[in-house]
Amino acid sequence: MEHLSKRINSLSSSQTIAMNTKSGEMKAQGIDVINLSVGEPDFPTPDHIKEAAKKAIDNNFTFYPPVPGYLDLRQAICRKFKVQNNLEFTPDQVVVSTGAKHCIANVLICIINPGEEVIVPAPYWVSYVEMVKIAEGKNVIITTDVESDFKINAEQLEKAITPKTRALLLCSPNNPTGSVYSAKELEKLAAVLAKYPDIYVISDEIYEFINFTGSYKSIGEFTELAGRVITVNGVSKAYAMTGWRIGYLGAPLWIARAVNKLQGQMTSGTTTIAQRAALEALTGNQECTSSMNEAFRRRRDLMVKQLSDIPGIKYNIPEGAFYVFPDVSSYFGKSYNGKLIANAEDLCLYLLDTAHIATVPGDGFGAPNNVRISYANSDENLLKAMQRLKNALTELK
């Protein structure tokens, strides 16, 4: 007899993975599907990083690593935090994990007690609310929209805070919206948080290097939040290393020690070869990050131009990451061959089945009127996909 825990039964499946899987199955059948559902760069890992991994194998980095990561990698992460983010961490405040997702889950499990609240601005990355559930916390969602550039303000934050609030989970540049909080916007949020010393900030900065604003501000830089920000980053997006599974965090020492303790019991240290590759990524030639960023900026401009030609769609201009997140609710209630498009999920399935474009409905991101479209694909495929999208939407009556 099956007997699953309430914990696992409370979780939702990832819509991003589901759409990626379905598009993969169609491709395997020989259907020309253009996959715009994936959240990863379409570039290969740069050669100098791959060479470092090969060298690591030859040098027998094949034994258990320290649970929080190799010391030289943690030292390199400290230098990165200091030089690029003006954040001061020592190596014992840094933990390397199996992806930024793992870092966030570790922190939530370590600091959230059952019933404590985590403020999550919506739209949010699909896994945030599910990880809060795993930690037996309560999600408090702050809803935003395209008119506010999908960003919360200080008044919304203050209104959401209660005596049970334990953390704010912030993502900038944001997945799925591409929105980037400015220094001024973060300053106002920090001023609110300064009044509540028991609230911690988990700052997901994994898209830091895919940023079209010309500058970047981390909320951990504000002195009034000293000792209360856990900064999460990794090599997946900046260096096209999603499959290597390396994320890292800088945190107050007591939190880093707790994460180290948890990780020691759950997974131990993350893959040795990937850690040596990550060290090269952080300390080696950085030209790859700027060239990929420029490619994504060009594709962003291409996508925005294409969206501007489609009636009834509302969108913001993303300032980072590699997604557009249009409001498509004007197409709800329309039909194709007698089949009603009632919501974003229906629309995404329609686009996949008839136009052979894979996108992701916004429900899983806390924004049911929207769809996420990734532009981590070639310019040629993006143009082809957007033409298919226009044609398919025109068919809805």
pLDDT tens digits, 134-172: 999 999 999 999 999 999 999 999 999 999 999 999 999
pLDDT score for 13:
76
Residue 101 near residue 121 (C-beta atoms within 8 A):
no
pLDDT at 183 > cutoff 90: yes
Q: Which residue has the higher pLDDT, 268 or 16?
A: 268
C-alpha–C-alpha distance, residues 9 and 347, integer Å: 27
pTM of the model: 0.95
C-alpha–C-alpha distance, residues 139 and 117, integer Å: 6
pLDDT at 23 > cutoff 90: no
Domain 6-44+288-394 adopts which CATH fold?
A: Aspartate Aminotransferase, domain 1 (3.90.1150)
Which residue, 333, 327, 332, 236, is CA-closest to 277?
236
pLDDT score for 39:
85
What are φ and ψ of residue 277, in 5° steps?
-65, -40
pLDDT score for 295:
97
Residue type at position 75:
Q
pLDDT at 246 > cutoff 90: yes
**3-state SS assignment for residue 329:** helix
Average pLDDT over residues 383-391: 97
Average pLDDT over residues 1-13: 86
**3-state SS assignment for residue 255:** helix
pLDDT, tens digit, 9 for 90 and up, residues 35-88 = 999 888 999 999 999 999 999 999 999 999 999 999 999 999 999 999 999 999
Domain extent listing, the chain = 6-44+288-394, 47-283
C-alpha–C-alpha distance, residues 241 and 177, integer Å: 22
What are φ and ψ of residue 116, in 5° steps?
-75, 150
Sign (positive or negative) of CA dihedral 313, 316, 317, 319: negative
Least confident of 13-22, 29-38, 124-133, 242-251: 13-22
pLDDT score for 287:
96
pLDDT score for 248:
98
Using the CB atoms, write b or e for 328-340: b if 16+ within 10 Å.
bbebbebebeeee
Domain 47-283 in CATH 1.10.490.10: no
C-alpha–C-alpha distance, residues 351 and 392, integer Å: 7
Residue 45 near residue 239 (C-beta atoms within 8 A):
yes
Residue type at position 393:
L
pLDDT score for 228:
98
Q: The tokens of 104 are what?
A: 């966030």
